[in-house]
Amino acid sequence: MLSLIGEYDCKSDAKGRIMFPAGLRKQLQDVMHEGFVINRDMFGDCLVLYPYREWQKVTRQIGKLNRFVAKNVQFIRKFNNGATKVELDSAGRLLLPPALAAFAHIDKDVKVTGIGDRIEIWSKGAYEAMINDDTDMAALSEEVMGSLNTENDDDA
């Protein structure tokens, strides 16, 4: 199971390529040869880069949805809209599809973050706005994590 971490400042060149951070390349060395799938994030103005193996897990979950339920079909369409298979080039750069880069308002300054089993790609400005918003982290932590029983955590 992947547990990607790290926050990296990158630059996008005139062709929409970013140099993929060496720290993430090291963490992904066992799966990088399989490629990635990039798509819009559902909750923020950023892109999500899934190692291909992780994308397959997500699509298996989505494949269990009943396609005779209209909301399920709507979700499947919207979730998959824009999903693109990508690979690093021989120089270690990742080409961001133009429509996806436009969605995330990515121009020159880019923030790339490891977030568990996937990677988020943000415009630096949007990332800073998200990090510096007025969310009460203490209250959010209690709401999200407060009821978890971590005493019997066998995954550690």
**Domains, the chain:** 7-144 (3.40.1550.20)
pLDDT of 112-153, one tens digit each?
999 999 999 999 999 999 999 999 999 999 999 998 877 765
Distance between CA atoms of 45 and 127, rounded to whole angstroms?
9
pLDDT, tens digit, for every residue of 46-104? Answer: 999 999 999 999 999 999 999 999 999 999 999 999 999 999 999 999 999 999 999 99
